[in-house]
Structure 1
Amino acid sequence: MALRRRPRLLLWAGLSDFFLLLLFRGCLVGAVNLKSSNRNPVVQEFESVELSCIIMDSQTIEPRIEWKKIKNDQTSYVFFDNKIQVKPVTPVCRVPKAVPVGKAAMLYCQESEGNPRPYYRWYRNDMPLPTDSRANPRFRNSSFLLNSETGTLVFSAVHKEDSGQYYCIASNDAGSARCEEQEMEVYDLNIAGIIGGVLVVLAVLALITLGICCAYRRGYFINNKEDGESYKSSGRPDGVNYIRTNEEGDFRHKSSFVI
């Protein structure tokens, strides 16, 4: 098996970095004797290296052999069946913060780097949830469906018992990863309070409309416009016009007659 590392690094592939995981089919596990022809290989960058796993003796017919890359006590990837399998990274979870009783709700869990594609499990208060709430009597007061392939947890109608701390775990053959806990609160919807509030608003609107109608009938909204350009005073005699100017004030003009 040819391996490569990042530039400017040497590939050291001893048993402290690579481990063999033998998984056997069935319930019985038999003894297996293994041998490696190159226990401490040292290789330059971009050169090939062969890591051997020789089964000297085995009580099983077809043991499953996996190579795992361990770094900082964490599995980086798994090599099996001529394929590299990468463990999932921390999935992105979306949980609604508050949902009224009887309403639908959907929780999302997504991870895009795991290979092969991971499967998902949801937990509430550290308790694993089944794929169908109807299949478990413990969740008879819930109504949800879990899609382990897409990571969606769908509630058709939430109940008070559905409140709690939720998190999701994405897993494949190479490992698993989980998201942080998020709380979902299920609250009662106060129908009586909503109806009362609507009635109060309607009453206030009716009073405002009635007040506007009364004010209009009493003439509060009628504006009397006065002509400010010229006027004729009723207290002055007919035939005499008074004209106001800015410099002279009022002056008297008498009508002229031609005989």
Structure 2
Amino acid sequence: MGTKAKVGRKQLLLFTSVILCSLTLGRGAVYTSEPEVRVAENKPAKLSCSYSGFSSPRVEWKFTHGDITSLVCYNNKITASYENRVTFSASGITFHSVTRKDTGTYTCMVSDEGGNTYGEVTVNLIVLVPPSKPTISVPSSATIGNRAVLTCSEKDGSPPSEYFWFKDGVLMPTEPKSNRAFINSSYSLNPKTGELIFDPVSASDAGDYTCEAQNGYGSPMRSDTVHMEAAELNVGGIVAAVLVTLILLGVLIFGIWFAYSRGYFDRLPVRR
């Protein structure tokens, strides 16, 4: 028996068990053949919802994405905001053409007219969109011994992209000690957020940085390359700047004192 046949048999047994258990408990059985649907943008998508044990089934579909919740179908009818895009049937709902905004969780809720029997099932819809060119933020100069944060992001990819950093054209591993080229670096890299944090910055961290975004759909996209310098803290320059500031402040104070002592301020004309 092939793998597909075994999977199909397991699904059939699962559905049969759900139906029998639900009927025994006095509940209707609601299930789906595809808990997760992945489809390219602008293509049709079918979200299945099958049920049994309901005398007069009343079907509703709810969409949830983050804080957004909306009704797609109410009492076996597509709502006004979806009626030109979605078709309802006894086996589910069908999008004529999905957009990236349709990505989210859809809940199929089934009840009878009296409200005595109820069941629901969720279907996750992922609209596949390739990543766009990522943008990066890289400091032009980072001070050795200090902390430096580099960021990378793109807004179009669905599912969300993962991010990979390159230094001087070489892929940076998540663990710097695993590659001899980065053994002297001390950084943390988060592929989910795109953050690359040097803590602390070392002289070897100077170089050209590029970020790549990929989500398993479409071609990976790379950012522009940005150069980062790693510079020593110029203690001498800071001390010199402080001394110059103090000298100028001292000259200003002396000038004001000298003017007062000579009575220059008393000679200024008084306005009436």
TM-score, length of structure 1 as denominator length: 0.51
| Structure 1 equivalent of residue 13 of structure 2 | none
**Partner of residue 195 from structure 1, selected from 214, 233, 239:** 239
Q: Compute the displacement of 1:84 (Å).
A: 5.8
Q: Compute the displacement of 1:167 (Å).
A: 0.8
Q: Helix, strand or coil for the counterpart of 1:145? A: strand
Alignment of 1:159 with 2:230, yes or no, is: no
Q: Which amino acid counterpart does residue 202 of structure 1 have in structure 2?
A: L
Q: Which amino acid counterpart does residue 194 of structure 1 have in structure 2?
A: I
Distance 2:256 2:265 in 1: 9
Q: Helix, strand or coil for the counterpart of 2:165? A: strand
Q: Which amino acid counterpart does residue 131 of structure 2 have in structure 1?
A: P
- Contact 1:85/1:173, CA 8 A, preserved across alignment: no
| Structure 2 equivalent of residue 40 of structure 1 | none
1:111-190 paired onto structure 2 within 5 Å: 111-174=154-217, 175-190=219-234
Summarize the Cα distance change of 1:219–1:123 in structure 2 as closer, same or farther, 3 Å threshold: same
| Structure 2 equivalent of residue 89 of structure 1 | 132
Alignment of 1:220 with 2:269, yes or no, is: no
- Contact 2:185/2:202, CA 8 A, preserved across alignment: yes
- Contact 2:152/2:194, CA 8 A, preserved across alignment: yes
TM-score, length of structure 2 as denominator length: 0.48
Identical-pair percentage: 36
Structure 2, unaligned runs of 5 or more: 1-38, 44-124
Distance 2:41 2:227 in 1: 44
Q: Compute the displacement of 1:145 (Å).
A: 0.6
Distance 1:83 1:216 in 2: 78
Name the structure with the higher helix share: 2
Q: Compute the displacement of 1:225 (Å).
A: 7.6
CA RMSD after TM alignment: 3.1
TM-superposition CA deviations, 1:70-96 (whole Å, max 9, x none) = xxxxxxxxxxxx976433222222222
Larger Rg: 1
Q: Compute the displacement of 1:143 (Å).
A: 1.3
Summarize the Cα distance change of 1:130–1:3 in structure 2 as closer, same or farther, 3 Å threshold: closer
Distance 2:230 2:177 in 1: 20
TM-superposition CA deviations, 1:201-250 (whole Å, max 9, x none) = 21222133223223322322223889xxxxxxxxxxxxxxxxxxxxxxxx
Summarize the Cα distance change of 1:3–1:153 in structure 2 as closer, same or farther, 3 Å threshold: closer
| Structure 2 equivalent of residue 64 of structure 1 | none
Distance 1:178 1:225 in 2: 70
- Contact 1:169/1:177, CA 8 A, preserved across alignment: yes
Alignment of 1:102 with 2:149, yes or no, is: no
Q: Compute the displacement of 1:155 (Å).
A: 1.1
Q: Helix, strand or coil for the counterpart of 1:141? A: coil
Aligned length: 151
